[in-house]
Amino acid sequence: MFDPSLTACYARIIQAGTELLTWYNAQPVVNREESALELWHIKRVNEILLNYLQHQKEGSEEYWSAVRTNYILKCDVFARIHYGESWYALANIIYGHEYAERLRDEYHLLSKEHPEAFRKYYTWKFNRKANKSKTFVIGDIHGAYLALLQCLERSGFNYEKDHLISLGDICDRGPDTKDCIDELLKIKNLTMVLGNHDFMALNWMESGTPDETWLKKGGGATINSYGTEVPQTHISLLRNALPYYIEKNKLFVHAGIELNKKLHLQDTKVFLTDRSLATAVTKYFYNGNAGQSTLTTFEEVYIGHTVSPFFKPLQAAGVWMMDTGAGMKEGVLSMINTETKEIFSSDLIGRLYP
């Protein structure tokens, strides 16, 4: 017999949060946000959901007790975890595959049956001052429209006031390139950095002839998403995309740069495809030197193109790797607030696009 009282519920919330915090602190992750798993946050999240569920008239008391003790307590802890790590993966590690499978099904059922509760959660967590704009960076989207919507919603992004910097590769692999660009065009303050997939897609849009290499890299999905016609606004967005963008001594570029060489002397191909910077960053990270030095003269550098280890944003030597595998079933799409370093990630791509 389980005790359905709120006291018992909160005790289990704290227990679940403590287990997760202990596990997470043991992982080789740099620059953790100190407040990410504070127990007061977990308690507040569940308080909102529990209070909402308690006032529902449908279902018996036994049903709502089961919801409180089985669905919300640990499920929401995992579902709302930061750093691009999916709650499903964490549940697998801590509680095993069978439990994670059951938890996943229950969570999706609950979120569909009670969207208002989850909407209230997001409103509370990501409430922002009305007159203060934020700058966000989003990694390689790769046609994952559903993931893009989740990142924008979970970050509380304001389409009129906030600034979004896309690191490129909106196109290819995923099925919804057209929808992704339609959504991005709704954003008033959008900065588009050109990715290599965008470059190849633009060649097709302007010539009407698909390159065989591009098709092998997922270009067919982009063609299918448009059907018979590509809007001129989409062509213009890619045509006017920047090779790189600098703001307040922060550099935003798709693939990377050549170190110790001035940007204006570097070839565009470097910005679109070179992985040497990402390789150096990853090496710094694995060697345990993530915060001890910087690789460039910029305060911060944000790159995409090379998928970050563990499918979550990785920071080392002053560089953020923001491609978290949205072009793969096992990856996610990630977005970061450049000021607070809060990270907002989608569900697993394989769950959004079975």
Q: Which residues have a catalytic role annotated?
A: 197
Question: Alpha-carbon dihedral of residues 3, 125, 19, 10, nearest 10 degrees?
Answer: -20
Which DSSP state fits 309? G
Helix (H, G, I), strand (E, B) or coil at 152: helix
Phi, psi of 289 (to 5 degrees): -110, 25
Structure tokens at 57: 């008239």
Phi, psi of 320 (to 5 degrees): -105, 125
CA atoms within 13 A on the CB side of 106: 19
DSSP-derived pairing of the beta strands 334-337 and 319-321: unpaired
The sheet carrying 244-247 orders its strands as 244-247, 250-253, 300-303, 319-321, 314-316
CA dist., res. 68 & res. 73, Å (int): 6
Which DSSP state fits 82? S
Please answer whether residues 219 and 211 qualify as being in contact, where contact means their C-beta atoms are separated by less than 8 angstroms: yes
- CA separation, residue 327 to residues 20, 71, 117, 301 (Å): 28, 30, 30, 22
